[in-house]
């Protein structure tokens, strides 16, 4: 039985969430906190398996509550937020920085045509996140950083492709804030994200990196020092134009691995377009998306790396890539930015 603590100051929304969860045979609501201070106390006293956390609450907001819970009694936290509010969106991603695992939009009312989809997404997210063992992780900063070992046959990468899911926002923050403003190649990113939140993710990350972050459009020229994110409900692909330059392409084709955008679709496109001159990076995430695509990149002569287990929130995606021998090197999150910088700046061997 999954024991859930609801932190939500609206009684109407709290009752709706309780109704949704208790219709599931494996879920039980053990407490309903009306503000962040109550949530911290009830998390300590009730020891739930997971907390659903509103952001805007009286006395103590969801960011502060997440901060205290993750330091006192670390456990899985899913942020339930309103995506249209910029201030709340920023606070939502700050909560992820503090250790919350995922963000999902507040469910609409029962009479709304999207209610069933919202309900299913909420239940599935809470069920999946409740299984994650939460600990206080810190990026591995000690010891020698692995240096780039090229599989590019003497060629510098033309593009870096990154894929991630659960824990991805925090991992992307660690990587992007460590890269310099004159980073000489473009980066393309597919992050599994609840619909409506990718814009907020970009805005939050932009505060912490000198790189230029963009929501990818169709047929955009990939520019050095820019990071392109897959938009909602579109596969982000890379293709080579007739002029020899690399461009984005957006595709609304069928989901791959039940996902759109799909990391595997991105990696396959890079394997084809970059002719081996690329680096594929698979960060923390649940499931297996990206593993087959990373293997395609490796077979095409690209260099492939995954985040290590110790610094990952969930090791599903990196672990799946390792299992099929799609990986050239495993790199800790705290060393990833330095590793990628070495990959694009190192002298080309003669």
Q: Which of 83, 165, 311, 312 is catalytic?
A: 165
Phi/psi at 146 (5° precision): -65, 140
Q: 284: which residues sit within 8 A by CB, 6+ positions away?
A: 164, 165, 166, 167, 168, 171, 307, 311, 312, 313, 314, 315, 317, 318
CA distances from 205 to 57, 156, 187, 188, 249 (A): 24, 26, 14, 14, 23
**Is 165 considered catalytic here?**
yes
For 159-345, CATH gives 3.40.50.180
Q: Superfamily for 2-129?
A: Response regulator (3.40.50.2300)
The CATH 3.40.50.180 domain(s) of the chain lie at 159-345
Decide if 289 is catalytic.
yes
What's the chain's average pLDDT?
91
Query: Of residues 192, 235, 268, 303, which has the active-site annotation?
Result: 192
In the chain, list all ranges with CATH 3.40.50.2300: 2-129
Torsion, Cα of 307, 309, 314, 320 (10° steps): 70
Query: Tell me: the pLDDT tens digits for 212-258?
Result: 999 999 999 999 999 999 999 999 999 999 999 999 999 999 999 89
**DSSP run (H or E) holding 104:** strand 102-105
Q: What is the pLDDT of residues 295-333, one digit of tens each?
A: 999 999 999 999 999 999 999 999 999 999 999 999 999
What is the pLDDT at residue 346? 72
Q: Which residues of the chain have pLDDT under 50?
A: 137-145, 150-151, 153, 347-350
Specify the length of the chain in residues. Answer: 350
Could you give phi then psi for residue 85, rounded to 5 degrees? -95, 115
Exactly one of 9, 49, 289, 328 is catalytic; name it: 289
What pLDDT was estimated at residue 85? 61
Residue of 294, 152, 181, 104 whose CA lies nearest to 307: 294
């Amino acid at each position: 039985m999954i024991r859930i603590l609801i932190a939500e100051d609206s009684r109407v929304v709290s009752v709706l969430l309780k109704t949704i969860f208790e219709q599931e045979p494996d879920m039980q609501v053990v407490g309903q906190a009306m503000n962040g201070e109550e949530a911290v106390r009830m998390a300590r006293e009730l020891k739930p398996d997971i907390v659903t956390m509103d952001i805007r609450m009286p006395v103590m907001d969801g960011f502060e509550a997440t901060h205290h819970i993750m330091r006192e009694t670390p456990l899985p936290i899913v942020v339930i937020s309103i995506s249209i509010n910029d201030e709340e969106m920023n606070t939502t991603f700050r909560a992820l920085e503090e250790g919350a695992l995922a963000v999902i939009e507040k469910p609409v009312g029962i009479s709304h045509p999207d209610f069933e989809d919202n309900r299913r997404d909420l239940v599935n997210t809470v069920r999946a996140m409740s299984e994650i063992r939460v600990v206080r992780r810190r990026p591995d900063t000690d010891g020698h950083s692995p240096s780039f070992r090229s599989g590019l046959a003497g060629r510098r990468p033309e593009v870096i492709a990154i894929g991630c899911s659960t824990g991805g926002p925090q991992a992307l923050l660690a990587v992007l804030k460590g890269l310099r403003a004159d980073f000489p190649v473009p980066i393309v990113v597919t992050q599994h994200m609840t619909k409506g939140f990718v814009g907020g993710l970009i805005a939050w990350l932009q505060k912490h990196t000198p790189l230029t972050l963009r929501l990818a459009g169709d047929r955009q020229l990939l520019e050095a020092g820019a990071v392109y994110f897959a938009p909602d409900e579109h596969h982000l692909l890379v293709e080579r134009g007739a002029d020899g330059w690399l461009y984005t392409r957006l595709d609304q084709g069928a989901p791959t691995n039940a996902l759109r955008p799909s990391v595997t679709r991105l990696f396959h496109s890079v394997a084809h377009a970059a002719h081996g001159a690329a680096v594929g990076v698979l960060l923390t995430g649940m499931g297996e998306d990206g593993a087959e695509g990373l293997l395609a990149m490796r077979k095409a002569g690209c260099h492939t790396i995954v985040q290590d287990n110790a610094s990952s929130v969930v090791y599903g995606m990196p672990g799946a890539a390792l299992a099929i021998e799609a990986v050239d090197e495993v790199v800790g999150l705290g060393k990833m930015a330095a590793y990628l910088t070495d990959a694009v700046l190192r002298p080309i061997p003669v």
